[in-house]
């Protein structure tokens, strides 16, 4: 039609003509690749015109439609040095623009009388039109005459910088893209022509010739920086971990048992979810933008599509791409690295620059992947509320002086750092910054303690009437360090089902030869956003006994947890008898000005939790309470988890838990103190309002989650967990050439009315704009190869 829409009746495989509308130039490729011939499309157009009582428009033969391609060079941002093709449908003020395959674009600005090259995406071009009333002009035939020294500008952060030496290095008139035979270059190593699908393929490859690399990770228009920063970090330190995520490779690798021209690509990914390996199968259909290129993770070229596939698999786990926006590094590290994770906080009482530096150096020495989360205020150009991969830390020359520096990678693949280290390359997203700048700009560092050759062993623990109470044995033959972890469903999984935050009450004790290593929910979680507890063992052969107690008072629907080991060997985990099902003692506090202090506190008796050989009480959010003898009052704090660094000087080694008699009296003790950041202030109305010894209704019953009161919502929550077992549907995908659990339509992007985008870039739009166009990675790689 005159508006640029194209209507085709597509026979495809089933002999039933389907009328399809596609808008724009590249989407026509999708139709042609799915139909048996161009002649069939011509017939359909004629038939549609006849029924509309108007003469059919002439049908151009393949190759008849010409377009211009302009190649640019000389820009500081090397991604801008690329071929830009004229693209109808991506217009500014009614004028066409030129786009690269990675969503970079160029346009002419009458106001500034210069060519501009940008990488912010189509939405920026629209807003820029206010400064350029006639923003874009088509290059047309004059493209061939543009001098290479024409005053081009590129956007660097918030300003436009003129580059006198940048410009057009070559131009060409090409045949239209669907004339594919002319683009299957014999020079492409490993690329063969597939007549059945009509394009170039590199055998469904995932990795380029150099394997996984952190520069393969390029964030698009989805707020998954936490996930992509973790991918980049792991790829940098342990690329073999990335490669090992992909299993059942016969479905897509060269030489696979069923790899023929008509084979439908299926990728199977192994994540660690709820403490155990979980297989997730996906096909190669992905959401694309106006240029036909991926919108959520950008394709870096050279066959490196692994970040795109992994993000799609991650989205399938949680039901949609929107469902994986906004997260924390430990969540992704656990799923991908499948190793213990530590969190080092930069701010708050007890935090120090030296502690951060020591943790960074230890991670570098042991080759641990690292991740950093920025704060809400921008420092030295670091994007706020954004995640970066930490590549390295060490001494380096800065302005002629040896200085402590940290090397970073921004998953946006651009560098906007503007601090004191001035010799960074601004083009590709990785840069060095001073340690002091790093500590101020980022509020935490996450470290995945990946050890080469280590493996995971696991055992599912089933809940009894009200709790998990069991004793297990581990036979260890190695003397190398290992970790024992107890895992439960993550917050993202539980909230997906509309379920309550779990907040379990957990204690785990690991004993060998009478020596005990104790752990519990708070300290060993290393952070409130983690859904596991952990005990680190120094390593010694022998038999270990693990005593586990776990209650889920706020989530009666949780039926099981998983105990796993991360060790240099496979470890058999066997039952060694039940433990008595005794509820853990707790008190509930209220009356504090700091609302975080009002909550449930569980008794911690084991050695790591004692101060002055006395017990303490802890809440699920990291707050804790203790008795201060010097002032004869109770004190409560929130913040750091390192208990020995949180005590006021005047109460050092003076804290103890309430005696059992105290706990049994609802009205005692009163006169708690809370720390307001500067001094301790007495809150006379704060104190215990209920406890585990009262005769009244239990906390479980008060919340309406008592045993026997299961509801439809509980069943829905259970279904979220059971759904994980069905995600390994690779055979069904290959047979139907369609993924029924994650179809290529708007439902897999988001629910109606939801918004998608990167909050760190302040760009969020309706998700519906991303669910309309899907394309296969097969075709994306073919375009880039051409």
What is the phi/psi pair of residue 607, to 5°?
-55, -45
Q: At what angle do helices 306-317 and 225-237 cross, to 10 degrees?
A: 130
> How far apart are alpha carbons 288 and 754 in whole angstroms?
18
Closest CA to 575 of 705, 471, 664: 471
> Does residue 225 have an active-site annotation?
yes
Q: Which of 410, 405, 404, 407 is nearest to 381 (CA)?
A: 410
Coil vs helix vs strand at 629: coil
Among 132, 184, 200, 225, the active-site one is 225
CA distance linking residue 485 with residue 330, whole number of Å: 14
Cα–Cα distance for residue pair 553/500, rounded to 1 Å = 10
**Rounded CA separation 87/762 (Å):** 26
Distance between CA 86 and CA 50 in Å, rounded?
32
DSSP helix/strand/coil, 663: helix
- Asked whether the beta carbons of 92 and 135 are under 8 A apart, the reply is yes
Catalytic residue among 386, 415, 717, 756: 386
**Where on the phi/psi map is residue 350: left (φ > 0), alpha (ψ -120 to 50), or beta?**
left
CA angle centred on 110, ends 106 and 111, rounded to 5°: 115
CA distances from 374 to 255, 329, 557 (A): 45, 12, 35
Q: How far apart are CA 45 and CA 50, in angstroms?
A: 9
Asked if residue 705 lies in contact with residue 555, where contact means CB atoms within 8 angstroms, the answer is yes
Matching residue, tokens 């449908």? 89
Question: Buried b vs exposed e over 223-236: b needs ≥16 C-beta within 10 Å?
Answer: bbbbbbbbbbbbbb
Of the candidates 162, 132, 135, 134, the residue with the CA atom closest to the CA atom of residue 149: 162
Q: Please answer whether residues 759 and 223 qualify as being in contact, where contact means their C-beta atoms are separated by less than 8 angstroms.
A: yes
Q: What DSSP element (H or E) covers 104?
A: none
Q: How many CA atoms lie within 13 A of 312 on its CB side?
A: 29
Q: Is 386 marked active-site? A: yes
Catalytic residue among 304, 410, 415, 518: 410
- In sequence order, what are the residues at sequence separation of 6 or more whose Cβ sits closer than 8 angstroms to the Cβ of residue 389? 214, 217, 229, 230, 232, 233, 236, 369, 370, 371, 372, 408, 409, 411
Token pair, residue 711, equals 């509801």
**For this structure, is 10 an active site residue?**
no
Two tokens, residue 167: 């410009």
DSSP E strands in 60-196: the ranges are: 67-73, 83-92, 95-99, 105-109, 114-118, 152-156, 159-163, 167-174, 192-194
Selection from 610, 678, 603, 676 nearest residue 643 by Cα: 610
Dmax (CA) of the chain: 97
* Span between the terminal Cα atoms of the chain, in Å: 28
CA dihedral (482, 486, 492, 494) in degrees, to 10, reads 170
Query: How many of the other CB atoms lie within 10 Å of CB of 126?
Result: 13
Region class of 481: left (phi > 0), else alpha (psi between -120 and 50), else beta: beta
Which structure tokens are listed for 212?
């996984």
Q: Which residues contact 186 (CB under 8 A, 6 or more apart)?
A: none
Return the bridge partners of 267, or none.
Answer: 282
Catalytic residues: 225, 386, 410
């Amino acid at each position: 039609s005159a508006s640029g829409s194209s209507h085709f009746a597509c026979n495809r495989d089933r002999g039933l003509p389907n009328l399809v509308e596609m808008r724009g130039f590249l989407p026509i490729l999708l139709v042609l690749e799915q139909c048996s011939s161009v002649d069939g499309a011509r017939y359909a157009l004629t038939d549609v015109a006849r029924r509309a009582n108007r003469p059919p428009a002439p049908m151009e033969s393949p190759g008849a439609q010409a377009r211009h391609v302009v190649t640019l060079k000389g820009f500081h941002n090397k991604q801008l040095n690329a071929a830009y093709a004229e693209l109808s449908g991506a217009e500014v003020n009614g004028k066409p623009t030129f786009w690269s395959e990675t969503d970079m674009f160029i346009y002419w600005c009458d106001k500034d009388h210069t060519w501009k090259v940008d990488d912010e995406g189509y939405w920026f071009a629209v807003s820029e039109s206010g400064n350029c009333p006639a923003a874009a002009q088509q290059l047309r035939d004059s493209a061939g005459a543009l001098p290479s020294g024409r005053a081009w500008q590129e956007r660097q952060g918030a300003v436009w910088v003129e580059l006198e030496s940048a410009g057009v290095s070559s131009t060409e008139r090409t045949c239209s893209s669907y004339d594919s035979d002319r683009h299957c270059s014999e020079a492409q190593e490993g690329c063969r022509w597939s007549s059945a699908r009509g394009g170039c393929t590199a055998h469904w490859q995932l990795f380029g010739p150099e394997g996984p690399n952190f520069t393969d990770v390029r964030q698009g228009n989805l707020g998954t920086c936490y996930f992509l920063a973790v991918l980049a970090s792991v790829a940098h330190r342990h690329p073999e971990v990335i490669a090992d995520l992909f299993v059942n490779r016969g479905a897509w690798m060269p030489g696979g048992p069923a790899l023929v021209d008509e084979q439908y690509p299926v990728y199977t990914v192994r994540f660690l979810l709820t403490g155990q390996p979980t297989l997730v199968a996906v096909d190669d259909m992905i959401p694309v933008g106006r240029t036909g290129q991926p919108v959520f993770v950008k394709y870096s070229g050279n066959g490196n599509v692994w970040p795109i596939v992994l993000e799609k698999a991650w989205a399938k786990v949680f039901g949609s791409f929107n469902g994986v926006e906004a997260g924390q590094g430990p969540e992704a590290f656990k799923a991908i690295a499948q190793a213990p994770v530590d969190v080092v906080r930069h701010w708050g009482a007890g935090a120090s620059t030296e502690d951060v530096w020591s943790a960074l150096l230890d991670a570098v020495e042991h080759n641990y992947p690292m991740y950093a989360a920025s704060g809400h205020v921008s420092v030295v150009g670091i994007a706020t509320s954004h995640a970066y991969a930490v590549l390295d830390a060490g001494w380096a020359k800065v302005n002629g002086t040896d200085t402590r520096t940290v090397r970073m990678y921004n998953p946006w693949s651009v560098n906007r750092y503007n601090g004191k280290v001035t010799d960074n390359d601004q083009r590709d997203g990785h840069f060095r910054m001073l340690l002091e700048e790093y500590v101020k700009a980022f509020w935490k560092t996450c470290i995945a303690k990946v050890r080469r050759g280590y493996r995971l062993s696991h055992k599912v623990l089933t809940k009894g009437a009200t709790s998990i109470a069991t004793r297990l044995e581990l036979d260890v033959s190695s003397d190398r360090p290992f970790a024992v972890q107890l895992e439960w469903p993550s917050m993202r999984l539980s909230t997906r089902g509309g379920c309550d935050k779990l907040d379990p009450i957990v204690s785990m004790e690991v004993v060998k030869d009478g020596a005990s290593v104790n752990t519990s929910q708070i300290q060993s979680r290393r952070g409130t956003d983690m859904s596991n507890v952990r005990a680190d063992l120094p390593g010694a052969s022998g038999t270990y006994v693990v005593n586990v107690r776990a209650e889920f008072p706020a989530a009666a629907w949780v039926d099981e947890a998983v105990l796993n080991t991360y060790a240099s060997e496979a470890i058999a985990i066997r039952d060694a008898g039940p433990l008595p099902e005794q509820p853990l003692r707790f008190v509930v506090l209220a009356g504090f000005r700091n609302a975080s202090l009002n909550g449930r506190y569980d008794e911690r008796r084991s050695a790591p939790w004692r101060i002055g050989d006395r017990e303490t009480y802890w809440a699920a959010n990291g707050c804790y309470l203790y008795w201060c003898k010097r002032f004869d009052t109770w004190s409560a704090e929130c913040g750091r988890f390192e208990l020995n660094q949180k005590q006021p000087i005047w109460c050092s080694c003076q804290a103890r838990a309430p005696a059992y008699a105290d706990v049994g009296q609802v009205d005692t003790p009163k006169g708690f103190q809370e720390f307001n950041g500067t001094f301790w202030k007495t809150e006379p109305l704060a104190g215990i309002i209920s406890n585990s010894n009262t005769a009244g209704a239990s906390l479980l019953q008060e919340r309406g989650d008592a045993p026997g009161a299961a509801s439809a919502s509980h069943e829905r929550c259970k279904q979220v967990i059971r759904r994980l077992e069905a995600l390994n549907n690779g055979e069904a995908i290959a047979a139907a050439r369609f993924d029924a659990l994650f179809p290529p339509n708007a439902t897999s992007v988001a629910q109606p009315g939801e918004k998608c985008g990167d909050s760190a870039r302040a760009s969020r739009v309706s998700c519906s704009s991303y669910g309309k166009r899907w394309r296969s990675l097969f075709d994306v790689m073919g375009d880039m190869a051409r």
